[in-house]
């Protein structure tokens, strides 16, 4: 799936599911070095809330945490 399709899916799905499940925030976490994932999160309206050391899939790594708000 390319970035445009991924973003379209997320930006369409997130508000609908947030409304249905009464969710106000969705968090996204990726490796800080994974520029493709960072770009997708940004294009989908997620805002960075943290960058630094953290647990990622059971290992200590430099991560980026983002949040999407309804």
Domains defined for the chain, CATH in brackets: 3-69 (3.40.630.30)
Q: Where are the beta strands (DSSP E) in the chain?
A: 25-31, 47-56, 59-69
What is the model's pLDDT at position 23?
87
| Planar angle of CA 26, 28, 31, nearest 5 degrees | 170
Query: For the whole model, what pTM was predicted?
Result: 0.78
What is the model's pLDDT at position 1?
58
- Convert the pLDDT of each residue in 7-45 to its tens digit: 777 777 778 888 889 989 889 999 999 999 998 899 888
What is the model's pLDDT at position 46?
93
CA end-to-end span of the chain: 25
């Amino acid at each position: 799936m390319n970035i445009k399709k991924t973003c379209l899916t997320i930006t369409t799905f997130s508000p609908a599911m947030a409304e249905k499940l009464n969710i106000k925030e969705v968090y996204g976490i990726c490796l800080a070095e994974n520029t493709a994932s960072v770009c997708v999160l940004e294009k989908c309206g997620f805002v960075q809330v943290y960058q630094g050391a953290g647990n990622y899939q059971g290992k200590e790594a430099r991560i980026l945490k983002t949040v999407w708000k309804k």
